[in-house]
Amino acid sequence: MNSVAEKMYGSSPVFSRALNAARMVAGTDAPVLITGEPGSGKASMAHEIHATSRRSNGEFRMIGCAGIDERQLEAELMATPSGSTLYMDEVADLSAEAQAKLLHFLESVEARHTGYPDVRVLASTGADLLALQMSGEFREDLYYRLHVVPLALPPLRERADDIVLLLKQFTTDLARRHGRKAPRYSVTARNLVKQYRWPGNVRELRNFCERMVILLPGAIVQPDDMPLEMRRDSATATNRGLFSLPEEGVDLFELEGDIIRQAICMSGGNRSKAARLLGLTRDTLLYRIQKHAIEV
């Protein structure tokens, strides 16, 4: 079973909208289809809906849909106690037979047929369920039954404000949990965290914070302490736009500052290495760092 967030953090407008929608729908028994990339918080959001619903004293039960056959699925569905919330994780992975079983179950629950538990169903998918429905891989009737309220969780890279907030919260929470002193982040390290694409979304950020709490308690995290993919990703991302002159031109001073910051990032904060990358002497680089008031 996935671990779900005890408390969901986030204040970016896109995340707040999704959380508000979750709170609105929690007061009803409507099915919700939660979409989003891996690790974006789908299971946590489902749990949040359960915890703020009238079923909060009941069970929150998660069924992983990948690889489950229709018999196992039927057994799981029928064994769910009344008053529970049932979370169908990666619902697009159900076989055609299992889809038919789920549909029959949902219809029977809604019609309150005897022998069927009173459950509320939430489902998640990282796939484009509409496309699968249109190509005939996912049943249309089941799609519309699950898709009553769609709730889309944006990838972490699209909510920059949340990255910093989550970094702080996870560091504090995990330091407390592990009985360690929370590490802090140098300006360059924090910039790397902000610029990274976070393909594993919140899960990846949480794991990263946990690693830093365990390995660097009380220290100031520097770029050199960070995974290579984070340093490389940031270097390529910043490079992409900066070296092709846009039609409207550039601010040369700003560009110089940016390039110096990139060199400092790439060299993990090592000024001599950064100077070499820029073809400058260390002294010239130090002068320019001062000129641009860059914090290293």
Ligand X SMILES: Nc1ncnc2c1ncn2[C@@H]1O[C@H](COP(=O)(O)OP(=O)(O)OP(=O)(O)O)[C@@H](O)[C@H]1O
List binders of ligand X among 42-71 (CB under 6 A): 42-44
* 51 phi and psi angles, rounded to 5 deg: -65, -25
Q: How far is the CB of 39 from ligand X (least distance, A)?
A: 5
Considering the complex, what minimum distance in angstroms separates the CB of residue 50 from ligand X? 12
Min dist. Cβ of residue 49 to ligand X (A): 12
Minimum CB separation of residue 117 from ligand X in Å reads 24
Instruction: Report d(CA 244, CA 267) in Å as an integer.
Output: 22
Q: Which is nearer to ligand X, 25 or 260 (CB)?
A: 25
Minimum gap (Å) between residue 63 Cβ and ligand X: 12
**The binder of ligand X chosen from 28, 38, 190, 237 (CB under 6 A):** 38
Q: Measured from the CB atom, is 211 or 288 closer to ligand X?
A: 211
**Which of the stretches 36-44, 99-107, 113-121, 246-254 binds ligand X when contact is defined by CB under 6 A?**
36-44
Spatial separation of the C-alpha atoms in residues 75 and 79, rounded to whole Å:
6
Question: Residue 21 or 277: which CB sits closer to ligand X?
Answer: 21
Residues in 199-238 that interact with ligand X by CB under 6 A: 202-203, 206
Which residue of the chain is nearest ligand X when measured via CB? 41
Paired residues of 34 in beta bridges:
124, 151
**Residue 208 burial (CB < 10 Å; 0-12/13-18/19+)?**
buried
The stretch near ligand X (CB under 6 A) out of 41-49, 182-190, 229-237, 266-274 is 41-49
Instruction: Tell me: does residue 10 bind ligand X (CB under 6 A).
Output: yes
Q: Which residues bind ligand X (CB under 6 A)?
A: 2-5, 8-10, 36, 38-44, 89, 126, 202-203, 206
